[in-house]
Structure 1
Amino acid sequence: MRKIIKFFTGIVMLSAISTAADLSVIPTPQSVQFRPDSFGFTGLASVQIILDDSITSDDEGVNILREAIANSFGIQTNVVRVGDKSAPASIFLVIASSDTNANKKPAYDFTPEMTEEGYFLDISPNKITVAAQNPTGLFYGLMTLTQMIRSAEKGKIPCVLIQDFPSMKWRGVSDDFSRGQVSTMDNFKQIIRFLAENKINVFVPYMEDVIQLEKYPDIGMGRGALSKDEIREIQAYAKRLHVQIVPVFQTLGHFENILTMPNYGKFAEYPGAGSLNSTNPESDKFLFDLLDEVIPLFESEYFHIGADESWDVGLGANRDLVAKEGVSKIHARHYQKVYDKVKSYGKNVMMYGDIILRHPDILNQIPKDIIIVDWHYSPTDNYPSIKQFADSGFQVIVSPGIQNWLNVIPNYDAAWINISNINLEGYKMKALGSINSTWGDYGGPNFREWNYLGYAYGAESSWNTPGMDGETINRRFFRQFFGCEDSRLSSLLIHLNEIPNLTNFKEIFRQPFFPTDESAGKILIRSRQLVENGNVELSLIDDLRPVIKTNVYYLDYFEFAAKMSIFMGERLKFTRDVSRIEANKEEPTLTENDWNLLQQNCTALIENLNDLEHSYKSLWLRTNRPDNLSRVLNLFRVQMAYFETTRESLFAHSVQIPITLTSKFITSKQNPDSDKPAPAFLRKTFELERLHGIKSANLQMIANSEASISINGKSVGRITATKSLSLLVENQRIGWWDVLDKLEKGKNIITVTVQGYKPRLPSIANVYLELQFEDGRTIVVQSDGTWEAATQVKDGWQLGRDTGGKWNSALIFDKY
């Protein structure tokens, strides 16, 4: 007997309420009524998809459905128009926008909340109907059917009546590709398609300096910046999938990637700042030049101006003005200028709300039609600021986080608590929607591929608030993403989720022997847990490879996380062994076997690091442009250098390993009651009997936020950078120079001028000069308490020719 499936749209929508059951569908439909029996695909030779004139033959929803039918059942699909009887069909798939078609359609009552994105999915033993009032609702109905087909058991899907619509209008994901990983075009499309299939309708690319600009072509150079044509292509693709692209382009803070470039430092609040000078007309002109290129590039009627974490405002050029008028007024005035600029393009303005929460009087100084993106990433059950913004007359979009930043793998438990709870609170407060945040702090070492489960969490709790429990969503995700629901996937996730509780990239990439306050017992427990978890994970991954049907490549990313876990566990144990030996001065009591074992363990760590680096590079390049990769790979190589130095020491039967810089951070005498640090002028004289035979002369300086260094009155270099979340900028906080040509026989003098701007952080510098001689001798000149320091100087101070200056011994600053 021939079965017929009819897919209808363009009708009116209904309002029955039922209990949703587990269909392995993400997000959970609002209402699911189960019926006896099922619809079977087994034995069908082909599926004919019948469209009316209002639906294009290349509709993406239809294409995705056809792909799912082919992949799941091996059934060919054909697309024809209503009334075309030229070929017999095993199944009719009718998508119609009116009642005037050959197939009688049942009446559906559409409720108001279903108008824009709602749909009905009606499956009986002999037919399937999708009904919606517009293409977006139809698309989401097709996505639900697609997911049901992918999870079909024995070629059958259950008979159901689904009535579905979103709890929240905005269901978004923001993606940071300004600090490290920049997706390839294929990867951008892969992510957008995943979002669309899970009914996420907004993709928010976070941009700082990764757009190619005609007026300022050096911005984004070598950073993987997207061309305008690429951005248009991404938008066109997303539009076909009913996803709008809403950019975040920073307009005040987090401008450091640009402001640390030589051509643009003049627009900063102070040299090295991450925030623009918001009262400088030239800064405004520069910002508006950027906006004039970026705003019209995006089709969305919304534009996100960023404006978060602008902590530098008022610490430099605007310090006096802030003291006079208050920091709130300075911020509000800048927001208004940017608002006016964006509105001139007919766009609606969005901005982050964290600075407003710190200075709530801003709420009364900015336009009420600004949409506040209220971000909070803590896994808690109370987010009072949503009500604060709503009560002040603003529309709010809540913004939880996937907890991926700096983690070897996202903390999915914390993410689910944060995402589900803030979305529920936002829903109760009638928030416009939710944007699920991902970040790539310090070079973005955390792979974007790990985020998909977090995307699914956001999809679930923004479409059907509060949604199902996290464990249920995990199982559905496995079913949809991997094509199976093997219990070992749940076990793997449980073990992987322990990694962010035990370590992270910040610890992985720091000096491995640096002392901490953690007890030996806790270190050893963490070490064992990391190794044991990692080994269990690798075993589970091996078992799952032949079982998983789709996205098998994803296991490579899990495997990397497991191997990183094992490496960190072994590193913790090794560094503890070495530190204990050094602390107890046990070298004389160690046998040759003891030394050999230490050497073997150190060599194993080096080899593992080398393997991890190569795996990391390969995984990065699968989905990302090569730009910015070298900065993260360098972190691996620095780790290898630490252990190679350690191994050399062990070969000499010694554990005298340099753990910290021997040079000190030094400053001049500061006024503790001043919010503005005084400048520090620092100098040190040293003698060289001869220049002949000096093989190398290397000088390193670390400073905040603005510093210049000279030798014998000859300029060596300058640093203008402040601590930030950008690895690009962090690398600029350290300067390294070859200064052989600056040295003189006899008396030499190193001079440093440094100016800090952060309150309660003095103007400090750390200097290390190493002279290597051909005969093997080494001379080191380094910053310490023997240096001279002053807050004011007279002419000639860089050559030691000033007289009557107030010079004191430099102060060592230990808290930097």
Structure 2
Amino acid sequence: MKFRILLPLLFGGLFAVRAVASAAPVSEGDPLPLVPYPARIELGGDDFRFDARTPVKVSSGEAEDFFAASTLLDELAELYGLPMEVKKSRSGVRRCVTLTRPGCNPQADERLRTAGLDIHAGFDPEGYVLLADAQGVIVSAPTAAGVFYGVQTLRQLVRASDGLCRVPAVRIEDVPAMRYRWQQDDWSRGPIPSLEYAKEQVRILSEYKINGYSIYAENIYESKLHPAINPYGGTITAEEIAELIEYARRYHVEIIPQQQTFGHLHYVLRQERYAALGEKHGSQILSPAEEGSYAFVGDYLGEIVPRFDSEFIHIGCDETFELGRGKSRDAVAESSHADVYLGHLRRVAALPELEGKKLLFWGEIAAEHPEKLDLLPENVIAVAWDYLPRDDFDKFIRPYADRNFPVFVAPGAFYGGRVFPDYHAHLANIRNFVRDGQKYGALGMLDTSWDDMGEDLFDMGWYGAVFAAACAWQRGESDIERYRNAFDWAFYRAPGHAFAEGIVALSDVHREMGPVSFDMAYSSPFSEAGAAQQNRLQNAPSRRMRLLCEEAYTQFCRGEEKALLHRQTIPALRFAARRMDFVFHKAVLASEMSDLYDAFVRDDDKGYAVNTALYDLIMPYASRLGSLRDMTKELKAFHRDLWRYENRPFHWEVVGARYDRMLLEWEMQNDRISLDLQQFGRTGTHLPREEAGFRFDRPAAQ
């Protein structure tokens, strides 16, 4: 660990002594949109220009380096129409792109030494150097992972230029700040990725130097011993895991299992044959007072662990709210909640099925009971987690650092419950948590995504996930503005800032309104439950919020025309903008319907043949109510298609039913108004506004 602390100083001295005189250091506002941003970078000299005839050489001859080259060649062919070829060659560096390792190509080694880019003893195994000038491009690294990461940076450097491609003259020496840079995806709350989409996640994450992908699970890993716990349509087989591991290995991504072993086991404990293992009947946590709890956990882990080749497994153990409220009440009373919790953690950590593994667990106990941390078992690693945009995260990390206890930090790229992630909050959370993790010597970062409401789309979350990848690779406090300026090119290979600006515009809605939740998307303003929310939205600047959403949608559409990479993720952004707009459009339409109902009751048309207020109120294909129905149908179809792209069919019916309930509500509102018409025809009087569905107040002037 010590050489990691000294490495920036060594690099600083290296560049100060050996930097070419004509090369100017890149400033904060430099023009290279790179994510992650390299540890050391200098510009200067003439760019390298090349075409389809330019050779790409792999000096090591290793299959892994040829694979790294293929990620470059695929992009050059697909984005720029350059069908280039790769070959093995241990000599020559002029007018070519060379991927090498120290000692494999003497000419490359000499050119790098002359440029001040030696790979010295103790160089980080994931680090790389990159030299580009008029003579050619050289990427060199001590390992296959380093070569791969150097190529990913090179991919971002390439530009089309006058029918050719060019790479700007640059010198890069780059190493990661954190050894472990992982992304977690929640596979247990509804959206379970298809195997093909999980591969896509791995592939994209690797481009930004993420080296671990963790699958959060509660009951989805296939069990032969306890098959009753597995859901039909949502079970992950051993064969699927093996295929994903093999695929990810080529991209230098480790697949890390995560299985809850304490809380969050409601799916298991609601099976009658396992209910007795719970803290209470119908509980969501295993009871440490039940010896059978450890037999079950040992059985299940004994099936899961051998399927993965990772040295790590995450055993969960968070949010044990029911502990001490049932069978363990006496044990907690005799000692403490923390003592019983840690006793369970020690029992699980000692299971023979976990022998030789490094065990991660959710480490909120540091903030709650730092005085108890000496009771932790030796073979566990704490994962400090929090998803709020705090100025610092010392209280979550420092208790572990003070005891030299290994720790990961776990910020949140996004979490369930919001129509679109609040990236103003998420990016501050990620930046500050990872910064403080580095300050206290954290082993790594486990960036999280959560699907608590069971309907999130991961393709909405790349802006946060890629930023987390950058923060874990970069040292110190990462620059959000630099990331924003680089994102469109680094992720979409698109000029300008259409995507970043659209994402920020949608985040601005949260900043002005507070969290825009799924409940706001699904609620009916004509129901008793939705009336209070409708009043809040009516008295907010709903029309201005709509303009922000529609501008974001327009930006995404225009950006899609220019994007060359990852275009398949853009529809999820467009859907989010459309859905956020719907929240406010729904409020505006309900407000207008209220006014139209009053106009109808007053008979503002004075007996005209067609009552225009009534026409605009409920006419099937021209009215406000018809618009609500049609927008709901559109959102359901849009969401369904995106779901099918990312996920297994499992759970979609639950999400679809929420849209169906809205559609039914619009029909019921039509019936309420029709009932009022019938009463008026019979008695010449109207129903009270509340009975006609208008329980909310008239809107304040906007």
Q: Shorter-chain TM-score: which interval?
A: 0.7 to 0.9
Distance 1:488 1:333, change over 3 A: closer
For the pair shown, the structure with the greater C-alpha radius of gyration is 1
1:67 is the counterpart of 2:66: no
Alignment check: 8 A CA contact 1:527 1:570 kept: yes
Q: 2:59 aligns with which of 41, 47, 51?
A: 51
2:635: which partner in 1? 612
SS at match of 2:63: coil
> Any residues of structure 2 matched to 1:67-216 within 5 Å, and which?
67-82=74-89, 91=96, 93-96=98-101, 98-99=103-104, 105-106=110-111, 107=113, 108-110=117-119, 114-149=123-158, 155-216=165-226
Q: CA separation of 1:79/1:297 partners in 2, compared to 1, >3 Å: closer, same or farther?
A: same
Give the aligned partner of residue 753 of structure 1. Answer: none
**How far apart are 1:198 and its partner, in Å?**
0.5
The gaps in structure 1 that reach 5 residues or longer are 1-11, 661-816
Alpha carbons of structure 1 residues 380 and 292: separation in structure 2 relative to 1, 3 Å = same
Q: CA deviation at 1:504?
A: 1.9
Which residue number in structure 2 is paired with residue 435 of structure 1? 446
Q: How far is the alpha carbon of 1:78 from its aligned partner?
A: 2.8
Alpha-carbon distance in 2 for matches of 1:230, 1:150 = 38
Structure 1 residues 94 and 616, CA, compared in 2 at 3 Å: closer, same or farther? closer
Which of 35, 40, 44 in structure 2 is aligned with 1:31?
Answer: 40
Q: Which has the higher strand share?
A: 1
Q: 3-state DSSP class of the match of 2:450?
A: coil
Structure 2 counterparts to residues 283-682 of structure 1, below 5 A: 283-341=293-351, 344-384=354-394, 385-443=396-454, 445-466=455-476, 468-501=478-511, 502=513, 503-510=516-523, 512=525, 513=527, 514=529, 520=535, 523-576=538-591, 588-589=601-602, 592-599=611-618, 600-653=623-676, 654=687, 655-657=689-691
Amino-acid identity (%): 24
CA contact (8 A) 2:188 2:216 kept: yes
TM-score with structure 1 length normalisation? 0.73
Deviations 1:277-313 (A, max 9, x none): 1220112211111111111221111111111111111
Structure 2 CA distance, aligned partners of 1:261 and 1:610? 36
Change (3 A) 1:590 1:456: farther
1:663-812 correspondence runs (5 A): none
Q: 1:352 is aligned with what amino acid?
A: W
Distance 2:89 2:601 in 1: 90
RMSD value, Cα:
3.0
Inter-partner Cα distance in structure 1 for 2:626 and 2:64: 61
Whole-Å separation in 2 of the counterparts to 1:239 and 1:161? 29
Alpha-carbon distance change, 342 to 93 in structure 1, aligned in 2, over 3 angstroms: farther
Q: Is the 8 A contact 1:409 1:499 kept in 2?
A: no
Where 1:626 maps in the other structure, the secondary structure is: coil
Deviation at 1:144, TM superposition (A): 1.1
Higher helix proportion, which one?
Answer: 2
Distance in 1 (CA, whole Å) between partners of 2:603 and 2:276 is 59
Deviations 1:301-334 (A, max 9, x none): 1111111111111111222222222212211111
2:654 partner amino acid: R
Quick check: 1:175–1:204 contact (8 Å CA) kept in 2? yes
**Helix, strand or coil at the partner of 1:310:** coil
1:633 CA drift (Å): 0.9
Mean Cα displacement is larger for which, 499-508 or 448-457? 499-508
Q: What TM-score does the superposition give when structure 2 sets the normalisation length?
A: 0.85
In the alignment, what sits opposite 1:16?
15
Are the aligned partners of 2:263 and 2:317 in contact in 1 as well (CA < 8 Å)? yes
Matched residue pairs, number?
Answer: 642
SS at match of 2:502: helix
2:377 and 2:473 map into 1 onto residues whose CA distance is 29
- Amino acid across the alignment from 1:71: E
Alpha-carbon contact 2:101-2:141 (below 8 Å) kept: no
Letter in 1 for 2:249: K
1:411-431 per-position Cα deviation (integer Å, ceiling 9, x unaligned): 111111111111111111111
Distance 2:348 2:693 in 1: 48
C-alpha separation in 1, matches of 2:379 and 2:213: 21
2-structure distance, mates of 1:516, 1:586? 21
Bigger mean CA deviation after superposition, 319-328 or 90-99: 90-99
Letter aligned with residue 439 of structure 2? K
Gaps of 5+ in 2: 1-9, 17-24, 605-610, 677-686, 695-702
Matches of 2:283 and 2:576, distance apart in 1: 35
CA contact (8 A) 1:348 1:370 kept: yes
* Equivalent-residue separation in structure 1 for 2:285 and 2:40 (angstroms): 48
Out of 101-110 and 280-289, give the one that drifted further. Answer: 101-110
Q: Secondary structure of 1:438's match?
A: strand
Give the Cα–Cα distance (whole angstroms) in 1 for the partners of residues 282 and 467 of structure 2: 38
Q: Give 2:684's aligned residue.
A: none
For each residue in 1:538-591, what CA deviation from the matched residue of structure 2 results, as whole angstroms up to 9, or x when unmatched? 333443343233333333222212221232112223445678999xx9985465
Structure 2 Cα separation of the partners of residues 96 and 462 of structure 1: 25
Letter in 1 for 2:328: N
Equivalent residue, structure 1, for 2:679: none
Letter in structure 2 aligned against 1:624: N
Q: What amino acid sits opposite 2:155 in the alignment?
A: T
1:756-791 CA-to-partner distances (Å, cap 9, x unmatched) read xxxxxxxxxxxxxxxxxxxxxxxxxxxxxxxxxxxx
Within 2, Cα distance between the matches of 1:268 and 1:590? 63
Shift of 1:487: 3.7
Could you tell me how far apart the structure 2 residues matched to 1:409 and 1:111 are?
46
C-alpha separation in 2, matches of 1:152 and 1:207: 47
Code of the aligned partner of 1:51:
S
- Structure 1 residues 726-766: Cα deviation after superposition (integer angstroms, max 9, x where no partner): xxxxxxxxxxxxxxxxxxxxxxxxxxxxxxxxxxxxxxxxx
Q: Distance in 2 between matches of 1:39 and 1:81?
A: 21
Distance in 1 (alpha carbons) for counterparts of 2:261 and 2:165: 53
**Distance across 2 between alignment mates of 1:633 and 1:519:** 23
For 2:487 and 2:223, locate their aligned partners in 1 and report how far apart those are by CA, in whole Å. 39
Shift in Å, 1:47: 2.1
